[in-house]
Every structure is written in structure tokens, then in C-alpha cells.
Amino acid sequence: MNTTLTPADLDPRRQAMLLYFQGYRVARIAEMLGEKVATVHSWKKRDKWGDYGPLDQMQLTTAARYCQLIMKEHKEGKDFKEIDLLARQSERHARIGKFNNGGNEADLNPNVANRNKGPRRQPEKNVFTDEQIEKLEEIFHSSMFNYQRHWWEAGKTNRIRNLLKSRQIGATFYFAREALIDALLTGRNQIFLSASKAQAHVFKQYIIDFAKEVEVELKGDPMVLPNGATLYFLGTNARTAQSYHGNLYLDEYFWIPKFQELRKVASGMAIHKKWRQTYFSTPSSLTHSAYPFWSGALFNRGRNKADKVDIDLSHNNLAPGLLCADGQYRQIVTVEDAVRGGCNLFDLDQLRMEYSPDEYQNLLMCEFVDDLASVFPLSELQACMVDCWEVWTDFHALALRPFGWREVWIGYDPAKGTQNGDSAGCVVVAPPAVPGGKFRILERHQWRGMDFRAQADAIKKLTEQYNVTYIGIDSTGVGHGVYENVKAFFPAVREFVYNPNVKNALVLKAYDIISHRRLEFDAGHTDIAQSFMAIRRATTASGNRPTYEASRSEEASHADLAWATMHALFNEPLQGESANTSNIVEIF
């Protein structure tokens, strides 16, 4: 057996311990050192040799040998090699000790810690495999209605698509999907431009949901795909963003203020021949600045008589889709066209009951409104439209308390509480911070098929989100039940008992505020503008008193948001000086 004997000049007691660590028996150690066995046993007991663990033994023996070699006067090559070996062993012993005292794997293997050093390669975002792209294409084409297939085919060959459409036929949904497919297949940029950034983000959410169908989570604003395509989501602040370029999608353009000014910038983003422009909207007013763009009058402006075009804008002519003489592909898609095209989302008989004939023609059959008879023409309402995400820095729609603890007022126009009746309109209005300042419609809701208790509960939920200091409710009909239930948790609620004089006072107050540019709402909330435009001058049944009406019949109540807004605005008296404090408004 090979053993490592200790030098004779060492302390016998220390020599004995080192020999014991080598595995020698006490009797043999005593014999080797010339000591009595009892003496060695005594050293073992007093110095507790048996309590030293393997790591302690290694460290002590290594240290002893290291010190011997360091103190050696004339060293040889093998001594230097052994010194280096012993130093490296001591380092290992230290790492083992650190690991035993609650360390981790990096204490034993330094490479574990080093592998996270230096710049890490970021994982690629928004990556689609070829299989996922094929799956998206399959989903896209299989989910189209027939009229959407026309849009797809028209986009292949036409640079400009201009579509007049019914509400809720899936245009935004379709074009969001079309844009993602195009970006993945061609690498072209896609630009989504809306009346407000909040409305543009509807496109974004549809695209995110589409990608999730193949288990891809899209991130970023703008979204950048690995093939270089970028998807931009912009509000009307894009008037100053002229550096973007790509396929352009501009939705609800008939509701965008100063459309022709915006179009100059927007169309410049798609000026190269490889880019495509798509405009689609529900109709608003014949006086809107976008109407010349739709009718071709904008094309004719400044041209010689021989170069001017005459476009037949009738439904019969444009329903199939037509490339017109001004280079635009135009199509009109009414709700009835959509049903014939395979869209099974509508009950036409029910819609005819819910809307008056005029409203049905405007909202669903793509007929423009002549707002000259309206108390609130579109030109006045457009001055109230803002991009709330850009302008209202103190309002955060997705927060638990969107407006913090600042006060708000609620206006409510109740529904009749049946599935076949009108909808209930509710608005949350931020009053001016200073006298003569601006009102802001922070939220608007339309609820259908709710009884008076459910309507009151909906209002109560809003009082839990906002610091509500005023609620105004029309107590006519089922509204009385809503009023009584709201009064139970908000005793200061104001009751409106409708008659011609009350209507006159409400409309007069709203007109004063709107005409002086003291009302703001998000430009994407076109239903608010439509609601106000529906209010017209009329006379009472006797014919001897003026009043205002908005098809408030059993068939329709499209102006519910306007009346709800007026109930809130009326909390500021006509003079605009201080809040009215009475609880019931009834004028005889």
C-alpha cells in the first residue's frame, strides 16, 4: 500500500491527525510515530478527529502539503506543478463549501453563471411559420361572406376601393384580416387610419385575435413582422405623420372632420403604385366634406369639361361593384345585400320594427341624411369630435377608475324594457373644470331588453366606477321605475317629466353648448352624432306648439344617446353659471 508519510519535523499530534485522515488505525499511527497507543487515542478524542467531514479533511491535508511546498527553498519543476494543482484543488474546495452552505449550481460550475453574461439574442417577435400562414389563409377564405369575396377580388386589381356600407356587416373585421394576410404574403406595410386612435385600435384587436387562432401572440405598436412589414394604427393625428407608407385603410371616413384635408396626407402615404387605398364608411350627411370624394365631384374639380366624369351612384349600379371612370372601385352594400350575400347575422323583420323608415334607410340601406332639417347638423357636431386618446390625458378608459375621483354627471334615457322595443341610452359626462369650459362624453352605452331593475343596476355599476355627483333620468313610462330604483341608492337623482316645454328647454340648452363648441366626444363614437342628427323640429298634435321629435315611438328611439346627453347637460343652467338644485323638472 502506497502512503504519504509526513515529515519527521512536524508536530507529532498534527502528524497523527493527518495519518488518521489517510485511513491508518490508531495502533499503526502510534507505531509509526513512536508514541503510546493511549496517547494517540487521547489526541483523537480531544481533537475530535472523527468529527471532521470529507471536505474538512481535504482542506487540511491540502493546506499542509501546500505550505510545505511553498516553504521549500529549492523547488523543482514537479514542485511548481503540484503547487498549481493544490491551489486549484483549494478553489474547488471553496466552491463545494459555498454550495453546501445554501449555494447553487453556479458555485460548483462557473460556466453556469457565465452563460448568461454578455448580450443575449432577443427571441424574434411576431413570427409565423409557413404552416401557420397557410392555416390563416384557410381560415380567412373559409370565413368570408360573398360580398367580402368581392372586396378581396377587387383588391387584387384596383388601386382604390371606395365602399359605402350598412352598419355591422363585418367590414372592419374583414379588412383587419385581409391586411394581416397581405402583410404576411407580400411584406407590404399596412396603415389603419380612423377618426380616433381608439377606433383604429379596433383593427388592432381584430388582428391580434386572428393571429391567436394559429397560436401566435402579436405584440407592439406599431406591429413589426419578421419579413419587414409594419402595421400602423393611427388616429387623425396622422395629419402630421407623413413619413409612413403602405396600404391604407381609412374607415368611417364620412364621419371624419375635415376629410379632404386628411385625405391629402393619407393618400400620400400610399402614393407609390404598389400601395392600395381602401375607404369604407356608413353614410352620414350630404353636406359632409367626404361626399364630393364619393360622388366624383372632387375628381371633376379643376378639370376641363371633356375630362369630367358623371358617376351613377344608384344602388342598382354600384351594388355589384364597379370600376368607375375616375379610377375608383365603388360598391354599395346594404344590410339586405349582406343577407343575400350569406350573412346570417340579421333579422330584417326585427330591424324594420326597431328603426323608423328614415333611420332604416340611413343606417342599414346606405342612404345619406339631409341634415338641413336637423336641429344639430353634422357640421356643428363635427366640431365636437376629438381623438380622446390623444387629447384627454386625464381619462384612462381601461382603468378601474377611468376618471379618478373627479366628478362626473350621468344622463339616462330609459328603454321600455322589452326585446322588441327601443334601446336605453346612457352617457357619462365630465362637466367643465371651469365656468364656460367644455363638457366631455367619457362613455356611452345602449342597452336593449332590460327591465327597469336591470337598467337601474347598470347605472349603479357606473356610480361604483366614477365619482357621480348628478344623475338625470326621463321618468316617462318605464323610466319611472328606473327613477325610483336609482333614487334608492342615489337620492339626489333628477327626474324629467316630459312635455313640449321640457323638450324645448333640453334642446335649447344642448344647442347652446354645442354651437359654442363646449361639447367633446370621441370621433369614433359616430352613434352619438347620428343620435343628435335625428332630432328635428316638429309641432305638437294640436299643431299650435313647437316641439322636437326623434322617432320616439314604439318602433324606434335612435336618438336615445342624444336625449341622455341632454339630461346630463341640463344640470348646468341655461346661463351656465351654477348647477340647478331642484330634483324635478316639469314645466307647464
Give the pLDDT confidence of 412-470 residue by residue, as tens digits: 998 754 444 568 899 999 999 998 999 999 999 998 878 889 899 999 999 999 999 99
* Domain of residue 515, residue span: 371-585
Q: Are strands 247-251 and 328-333 parallel, antiparallel or unpaired?
A: unpaired
pLDDT surpassing 50 at residue 556:
no
Q: Are strands 190-193 and 247-251 parallel, antiparallel or unpaired?
A: parallel
Per-residue confidence at 7, pLDDT binned at 50, 70, 90?
low
Q: Which of 306, 328, 363 is the last residue of a domain?
A: 363
pLDDT attached to residue 166: 96
HSE (side-chain half, CA atoms, 13 Å) at 127: 5
Alpha-carbon span 67 to 73, nearest angstrom: 12
140/288 same-domain check: yes
For residue 54, whether the previous peptide bond is cis, meaning omega lies within 30 degrees of 0, is no
In a domain, 375, yes or no: yes
552/534 same-domain check: yes
pLDDT surpassing 90 at residue 47:
no
292, 259 in Cβ contact below 8 A? no
Alpha-carbon span 359 to 371, nearest angstrom: 13
Q: Where are the beta strands (DSSP E) in 166-312?
A: 190-193, 223-224, 230-234, 247-251, 277-281
pLDDT attached to residue 452: 86
455, 424 in Cβ contact below 8 A? yes
CATH number, domain with residue 355: 3.40.50.300
pLDDT attached to residue 33: 84
Place of cell 352605452: 445
Which helix (H) or strand (E) segment is 35 a member of? none
Return the ∠ at Cα 120 (arms to 116 and 121), rounded to 5°: 145
Q: How far is CA 399 from CA 21, 204, 280, 402, 467, in A?
A: 69, 19, 31, 5, 14
478, 419 in Cβ contact below 8 A? no
Which helix (H) or strand (E) segment is 585 a member of? strand 584-585
Alpha-carbon span 287 to 254, nearest angstrom: 10
In a domain, 7, yes or no: no
Per-residue confidence at 543, pLDDT binned at 50, 70, 90?
low
Return the ∠ at Cα 161 (arms to 158 and 163), rounded to 5°: 150
94/47 same-domain check: yes
Burial of 89 (0-12, 13-18, 19+ CB in 10 A): middle
pLDDT surpassing 70 at residue 541:
no
pLDDT attached to residue 170: 96
pLDDT attached to residue 552: 42
In a domain, 392, yes or no: yes
pLDDT attached to residue 553: 36
358/433 same-domain check: no
423/455 same-domain check: yes
Over range 15-25, report the average pLDDT: 83
Per-residue confidence at 579, pLDDT binned at 50, 70, 90?
very low
524/462 same-domain check: yes
Alpha-carbon span 283 to 297, nearest angstrom: 17
pLDDT surpassing 70 at residue 583:
no
152/235 same-domain check: yes
**In one letter, which amino acid is 186?**
T
* 384: its cell numbers: 365636437
391/319 same-domain check: no
Alpha-carbon span 328 to 280, nearest angstrom: 12
pLDDT tens-digit map of 388-422: 988 999 999 889 999 999 999 999 998 754 444 56
Q: Which of 363, 396, 411 is the last residue of a domain?
A: 363
332, 161 in Cβ contact below 8 A? no
Number of domains in the chain: 3
Alpha-carbon span 477 to 202, nearest angstrom: 37
Per-residue confidence at 113, pLDDT binned at 50, 70, 90?
low
In a domain, 103, yes or no: yes
Over range 472-494, report the average pLDDT: 91
Residue positions counted in the chain: 588
SS3 content of the chain, % helix, strand, coil (to 5): 45, 15, 40
193/305 same-domain check: yes
pLDDT tens-digit map of 247-295: 999 999 999 988 998 898 889 899 999 999 999 999 998 889 999 999 9
pLDDT tens-digit map of 167-205: 999 999 999 999 999 999 999 999 999 888 888 999 999
pLDDT surpassing 70 at residue 512:
yes
pLDDT surpassing 50 at residue 580:
no
In a domain, 63, yes or no: yes
Q: Are strands 536-539 and 467-474 parallel, antiparallel or unpaired?
A: unpaired
End-to-end alpha-carbon separation of the chain, Å?
123
383/521 same-domain check: yes
Q: Which of 363, 394, 415 is the last residue of a domain?
A: 363
189/81 same-domain check: no
CATH number, domain with residue 378: 3.30.420.240
399, 412 in Cβ contact below 8 A? no
Q: How far is CA 568 from CA 405, 410, 513, 561, in A?
A: 18, 6, 12, 11
Alpha-carbon span 510 to 491, nearest angstrom: 25
pLDDT tens-digit map of 51-108: 887 877 777 777 777 787 888 888 888 878 887 887 788 777 777 777 777 666 665 5
Kindly provide the b/e burial profile for residues 452-471, where b requires at least 16 CB atoms within 10 angstroms of the residue's own CB: beebbebbeebbeebebebb
pTM value is 0.70
Q: Say which residues have a Cβ less than 8 Å from residue 152's Cβ, sequence separation at least 6.
A: 144, 178
pLDDT attached to residue 70: 82
In a domain, 350, yes or no: yes
378/439 same-domain check: yes
Helices (H), 250-330: 259-268, 291-295, 297-300, 315-318
In a domain, 3, yes or no: no
286, 370 in Cβ contact below 8 A? yes
Torsion of CA 391, 395, 398, 400, to 10 degrees: 170
Shortest CA distance to 270 belongs to which of 242, 231, 251? 242
Torsion of CA 475, 476, 477, 482, to 10 degrees: -20
3-state secondary structure of 444: strand
In a domain, 324, yes or no: yes
